[in-house]
Homo-oligomer: A and B are copies of this chain.
């Protein structure tokens, strides 16, 4: 972030609502900067949201570009309006449902584009007049002199517009707006002069997504109307048609007012995936009155309740990226049910969530790595509900599969592997028992045995996914093998010995695609021949590898690092190869690589396949190299600025990585009962575990230079291993690090 932007943000904080909500002594929300990750590839959004809320009410500055999946790009200076739903940090755009656009004068129904900001309803704004804090967002629209403020609850949002004096103040809502994709159908009803309901159906990343709204207006509108394809829906004296309701592919509606100067018009909007009736119920339950300030302060209280789960000592500079990471980690998965427990299932039927809370947006290829492991420590109750939501998905899945990458009751089939099994096994092995774990194991096993899914059947027979039969075959083999280890681990714990042996064997499949002649993982065809023309640093995002090269994927054996070390010729050779990863060349001109950021040699922190790699030094007897890399990455790939996130936040995975590493450890193999120790990046932290116990972490002597562990005490006793057993911290306790400026090469061996 450049200085101008920094000053802008500081100004925004000072002039915005951040201090309007008098924070108590425990106001952690003040350390959260929702703009972090909004510039570049972070793909976060700055709008109003509560923890894990279904509603993310936020401005949309971009709706076509694949690279602005959250709808907001900090570099933009125009916005379309304010919509109800957004993803946090995905690589694919969608959502952006129900765009509200305030203006004066003649209402425009065509959005225009930022290249020509006067061509449609798109309008200019400046970061100088914009502010955001947890649960609150504000911006001033200079063209029409309108101040916009946004606040949210779980299933509703409230938009506050401060208009100038005008004969024609209006708010248009564009049901055809959605990020990147197509609205197939929509409908609108003016229920009365202060209530509008409607829905739209989106054919997007999700093949068939329905969302409903109910919008209450603080003041009866003077006029209202529905437009379709730019034409007003009017009377037809040949055959009457309603002017108070319509349905079709491309619908907008307006409400208009005569306003006094600084007159406030508020719209509160409930959403539901079930019906307008449920959307209205949600709205009326969550925002019964018109107290905008209360919605803001309630949201901030909700945030503080979550943020205080880890308290750290440090400067503002240190706290900002930490609490912003906590904030981002607690956005997704999102709530996906109505106040009465109704939700739309994967069979498009309406279900009731009995004895659980239904969640959606499962970016599992990302989040099984650190997000769900973090949840096991400090969001165990929600993680339990998330697993129940995944099991509901399984029950409703016509393919008998657990979720892969799902949102809003649709499977997107995005990414690879079957990492639901890791999330579930991880939770079970970490002691979570709030779900029916025997049925969960059934679901896990059925998923891992699916005869249709991505050549899993061939893999189970040949011991690898053949590159001539399946794309991304190397990545799939490696990730299946890890997932199989997760199944095996749970099977073992449940005493299912036969399954344990079967899946443990499958988890060794990585060996079948390691080509010792080149020292890398490599594609192999169904006849057993290596894929020709191999280049380890070739970006091969859609053939043998998933969003990466063999350089990254060769390290992906979290379930058996000793086995990998042995394959590579022992710890010395392994470490040397690992060293070379960070200096290997990445040709940034290569096709596909424009999406890759956080590049350190061929280590790419901006994407998940690299996330566990620096901890492999722990296994190879060189933990000080892990320690050094942790600090390097924490410093260079994170921060408190809009452009501080080097890659997609991926529904909190990048942020969860930060949180673990601030504390000094990381779950390399999530289903194992230990963490790899990295190097703490905050001086002191208190973690409120979900079981009510407290874990204290202290890093004595920590400084920018003192990044190496000299000594460590676990629960008061000296600890010399580079791995932290879950059993030692699950009931709270203390971790004390003594830090120094030079590696203690005897520690952690």
Residues of A within 8 A of B (CB): 184-185, 187, 189-191, 197, 199, 201, 203, 207-208, 235, 237-248, 275-277, 347-350, 398-399, 404, 411, 413-414, 452-455, 469-472, 542
Contacts and interface: CB of A to CB of B under 8 A. Distances in A.
Contacts of A404: 240
A666 B83 CA distance: 60
Contact of A240 (B247, B398, B454, B542): B454
Given A237-B470, A276-B347, A399 B207 contact: no
A199 B348 contact: yes
A207 B247 contact: yes
A275 B348 contact: yes
Nearest to A450: B240
A413 B349 contact: no
Nearest to A208: B247
A348 B208 contact: no
Nearest to A238: B471
Nearest to A207: B247
Given A208-B187, A237-B470, A414-B239, A348 B276 contact: yes
Chain A contact surface mostly: loop
Counted per complex, copies of this chain come to 2
A265 B276 CA distance: 41
A185 B185 CA distance: 9
B348 A455 contact: no
Given A184-B184, A184-B185, A276-B348, A245 B454 contact: no
A350 B277 CA distance: 9
A525 to B, nearest CB: 14
Contacts of A235: 452
A348 B185 CA distance: 13
A392 to B, nearest CB: 14
A340 to B, nearest CB: 13
Contact of A190 (B239, B243, B248, B398): B398
Given A207-B247, A243-B452, 4 more contacts: A187-B348, A238-B471, A240-B453, A242-B452
B187 A455 contact: no
A663 to B, nearest CB: 36
A155 B201 CA distance: 27
A398 B237 contact: no
Given A184-B184, A208-B187, A398-B189, A347 B197 contact: yes
Contact of A413 (B241, B414, B471): B241
A189 B347 contact: yes
Query: Which of A185, A197, A208 has most chain B Cβ within 10 Å?
Result: A208
Contacts of A471: 237-238
Nearest to A476: B237
Contacts of A398: 189-191, 242, 244-245
A189 B207 CA distance: 14
7 contacts: A190-B398, A238-B472, A242-B399, A242-B411, A245-B399, A275-B348, A277-B350
A580 to B, nearest CB: 31
Contacts of A185: 184-185, 201, 208
Top 3 nearest A-B pairs (CB, nearest first) are A277-B349, A208-B247, A244-B398
B413 A239 contact: yes
A347 B237 contact: no
A469 B237 contact: yes
Contacts of A238: 471-472, 542
Nearest to A246: B207
A500 to B, nearest CB: 27
A276 B398 CA distance: 14
Nearest to A455: B237
Contacts of A243: 452
A199 B471 CA distance: 33
A239 B413 CA distance: 6
Contacts of A414: 239
Contacts of A469: 237
A470 B190 CA distance: 25
A411 B398 CA distance: 35
A245 B348 CA distance: 12
Contacts of A246: 207
A224 to B, nearest CB: 12
Contacts of A187: 208, 348
Contacts of A470: 237
Contacts of A349: 275-277
Contacts of A452: 235, 240, 242-243
Nearest to A396: B189
A186 B471 CA distance: 30
A469 to B, nearest CB: 7
Nearest to A235: B452
Contacts of A275: 348-350
A455 B239 CA distance: 11
Query: Which of A237, A243, A244, A276 has most chain B Cβ within 10 Å?
Result: A237
Nearest to A472: B238
Nearest to A239: B413
Contacts of A244: 398-399
Contacts of A542: 238
Nearest to A276: B349
